[in-house]
Amino acid sequence: MFHRHNILAAISGRRARSGAAGWWTTTARNAWLFGPQNSLNDQIAANHATAQGNAALGGSPNALQLDGVSDYCTTVETGLTYVGTAWQIIAWVNPDPAVHDQTVLRIAGSAPDTDAGMTIDHSGLAAGGADKAFALGYDNDWADSHIYSTTTVNDGWHMAMAGFDGTRLWAGADGVWEASEVVDAAPNIRSTLAWTIGSYGPNPNISEFKGAIGEIWLFDEWNDPASLSFSDMFNGTKSYYGVA
């Protein structure tokens, strides 16, 4: 049986689990045994986000609102400058369905043409297809590794999921890892740049997110679903976003 403390250990400010590298709450949700959160601050460490453009918290439910043009958030580098042999990104998103290639959380490496993270995109899917959670990783010669979730995530609030387990790149949605592929080259990033929320960091105004982003969790290891129940994470947070 899954125990709630496993999730709490992973995402709480006590950082009881070393793999939890960042948790940007962005919402006013009573965060499942925590007090209300409504901040761009990182609740795990000190990797706080700074709003750029007109990015701001607001709306209903309260979340990070981005205009798809010049709004995004930067984070500080401390503790986030290296993505090791494995990582996971989990985020509540409500993207504009008319916009594609939208960055949720992404980092560019110090070496040219390297980056990793998660976007919402329909590239490579059938014409007119709905956007999916898109996990991506590029090595330093742009060897392309990517995989899509099977669940559509641009028709309201969804928990989008991306990760790398050391061998395979994974994508999923709403608490379930749905698809994976063996990577061409490990998308491991050693970077002097910061993680960026809502935009491709080195080139602001590229891959801008339009819509709302709720909580974002970043893990610098691969948490096997058996040890960290993402379905319970989904079920424990979905009511705030009006998901049945």
Residue with more model confidence, 199 or 201: 199
DSSP states along 44-89: SSS--EEEETT-EEETTTTEEEEESSS-EEEE--TTTSEE-S-EEE
Q: Pick from 233, 208, 230: which is nearest to 65 by CA?
A: 208
**Third-level CATH fold of 4-241:** Jelly Rolls (2.60.120)
pLDDT tens for each residue of 182-191:
876 665 555 6
Domain ranges of the chain: 4-241
Residue 81 has pLDDT above 70, yes or no: no
pLDDT tens for each residue of 49-67:
889 999 998 888 889 999 9
pLDDT tens for each residue of 108-138:
765 656 677 888 887 555 545 678 888 877 6
pLDDT tens for each residue of 89-106:
899 999 998 888 888 988
